[in-house]
Amino acid sequence: MTEHRAPTIADVADRAGVSRQTVSRVINHDAYVANDTRIRVLEAIRDLGYHPNVAAQALGRRNRPGPRVSSSDADA
């Protein structure tokens, strides 16, 4: 019996002939992606049955380094 794994952004990128960053931009509705490229990526997503891993996205958003702004800082 073969083990099947869920398709990744890298799989979508390979199928569409683009970078993983371009796939990410399409998924996140970035305006700076050419329409023909967007269509190719969306077709690859559909063909592969790609679904973003919500748990992985949540981990990526947590504890990001960088400046923090609190409401008391905004008044300064």
Structural domain includes residue 76: no
End-to-end CA distance of the chain: 63
Structural domain includes residue 38: yes
Query: What's the CATH number where 28 sits?
Result: 1.10.260.40
8 Å CB contact between 41 and 11 = no
Range of the domain at 2: 1-51
> What is the predicted pLDDT for the residue at 38?
98
Could you read off the pLDDT of 20-44 as tens digits, one per residue? Answer: 999 999 999 999 999 999 999 999 9
> What is the predicted pLDDT for the residue at 51?
92
Structural domain includes residue 29: yes
Q: Full-prediction pTM beyond 0.85?
A: no
8 Å CB contact between 28 and 69 = no
Structural domain includes residue 56: no
As a whole number of angstroms, the distance between CA 65 and CA 43 comes to 34
As a whole number of angstroms, the distance between CA 68 and CA 8 comes to 31
Could you read off the pLDDT of 43-75 as tens digits, one per residue? Answer: 999 999 999 887 777 776 666 566 666 555 555
Number of structural domains (the chain) is 1
